[in-house]
Amino acid sequence: LAESTDSAADSARPITTVGVVGLGTMGAGIAEVFARHGFSVIGVERDDAAAERGHGHLTHSTDRAVARQKLSEEDAAALIGRIRVSTDLADLAEAGLVVEAIGESLQLKKTLFAALDDIVSPDAVLATNTSSLSVTEISTATSHPGRVVGMHFFNPAPVQKFVEVVRTVVTEPRVLEDVTTLVEQLGKSPVVCGDRAGFIANTLLFGYLNHAASMYETRYANREDIDAAMRFGCGYPMGPLALLDLIGLDTAYEILETMYRQGRDRLHAPTPLLKQMVSAGLLGRKTGRGFYTYEGPDSPVVV
C-alpha cells in the first residue's frame, strides 16, 4: 500500500481527522488504513490496558510491514505518529468522521452513539463497523440519525480492498457520498447496500462457514481436508475453518445468531460446536486455539 499524505485533502467535504472507537483487531486495522492514507487518527479505547493493547496491534502490524520491506522505518514512524490513542471520547470533538468498532452489542453501541452525538460537531459523520446489527437501530440513539451510516470493513482491514457502506432509510445522500469518496481514497472499493443483517458478504459467507463447521462436527471430514477442498479445489485464499479462526469464533457465532434471528434461514442457525468452542474459550487465533492451534496471532499452524 502506497503512502499518500495528500489524499485527505481531496474529500468532497474534507474530512482530515478520523476517530476510531475500539482498537481490537478490526479497529486497529481500520485506524492503520486511515493513517496510511494521510488522515490524522484518534483511536479511543475504554481504559489504559485496552489502549496499550490497541497500540500494540498497530506497532505489530507496521513492524511486520517494515520487516517485509513494504514500508520504510521512517514511513512507519510517520504512520504511527498520525495516530493518537486516548481513553477519552471527548478527544473526538474535532473528528469529521468517527468509525465505531467495539464489540457486537446493540446496547453498548447505542450508548456509545448517544455519547458521540453530544461530542462531535453537527456535520460529522458517525459510522459503525457492525457486521450484523441494525444500523438503523443504532442510529436511533442519536439526535441526527441522517448522519449515521454503516462502514463494514473486512478482516484483515489493511489488506481487503472492499467496504460495504450501509445506508438506512434516513441516511442523508451527502453522507453516503462523503463516505464512498473516503473509501475510494483508502484504495478500496465501496459498495452501497441496505440495512439487513449480514449485508451482502456475510449473508453469503457465513452460511458456508457454518456448514463447514457442521461438516467437521459430524466428522464427515477432518479439518485439513475441509480446508484443502476449498483452497485447492476452489481457489479460496483460506479454508473455512482457518477463516473462522481468523474472524474469531465468538464474532462468527454472534453474526450467525443475529442473522438467524432476523432471517430465520436455517443455513445461519449456528452449529452447536461453535457455541461449545466459544464457551470453552477456543476463539481462534486471538486466544491461540480454535479449529487449529497457533503460536501467536500471525504464527503458522502448530497443531
Catalytic residue among 45, 104, 164, 257: 164
* Torsion sign over Cα 130, 136, 142, 143: positive
Per-residue string for binding with ligand 3HC, 111-140, x by CB under 6 A? Answer: --------------------x---------
203: contact with ligand 3HC by CB under 6 A: no
Quote the least distance from Cβ 60 to ligand 3HC, whole Å.
Answer: 9
Which one of 142, 202, 203, 271 is in contact with ligand 3HC (CB under 6 A)?
Answer: 202
159: contact with ligand 3HC by CB under 6 A: yes
Q: Is 129 a catalytic residue?
A: no
Closest CB to ligand 3HC among 46 and 70? 70
Bridge partner list, 193? 166
154: contact with ligand 3HC by CB under 6 A: yes
Could you write out the DSSP letters of every residue in 148-163?
A: EEEEE--SSTTT--EE
Quote the least distance from Cβ 21 to ligand 3HC, whole Å.
Answer: 17
68: contact with ligand 3HC by CB under 6 A: yes
Distance CA 7, CA 18 (A): 13
The beta-strand segments (E) located in the chain are 17-21, 40-44, 83-86, 97-100, 125-128, 148-152, 162-167, 189-194
Q: What is the DSSP letter of 284?
A: B
Per-residue string for binding with ligand 3HC, 71-110, x by CB under 6 A? Answer: ----------------------------------------
Q: Is 144 a catalytic residue?
A: no
Distance CA 266, CA 256 (A): 10
Contact assessment for residue 15 and residue 42, using Cβ atoms and an 8 Å cutoff: no
Contact assessment for residue 282 and residue 254, using Cβ atoms and an 8 Å cutoff: no
Quote the least distance from Cβ 155 to ligand 3HC, whole Å.
Answer: 3
Q: State the CB neighbour count (10 A cutoff) for residue 208.
A: 14
Please list every residue from 243 through 282 that binds ligand 3HC, using CB under 6 A.
243, 247, 251
61: contact with ligand 3HC by CB under 6 A: yes
Distance CA 197, CA 262 (A): 7
Distance CA 41, CA 27 (A): 11
301: contact with ligand 3HC by CB under 6 A: no
Catalytic residue among 7, 61, 129, 202: 202
Distance CA 204, CA 243 (A): 14
Stretch that binds ligand 3HC, among 90-98, 136-144, 158-166, 177-185 (CB under 6 A): 158-166
Q: Could you list the residues that contact ligand 3HC (CB under 6 A)?
A: 61, 68, 70, 131, 154-156, 158-160, 202, 205, 237-238, 243, 247, 251
| Residues identified as active-site | 131, 152, 164, 202
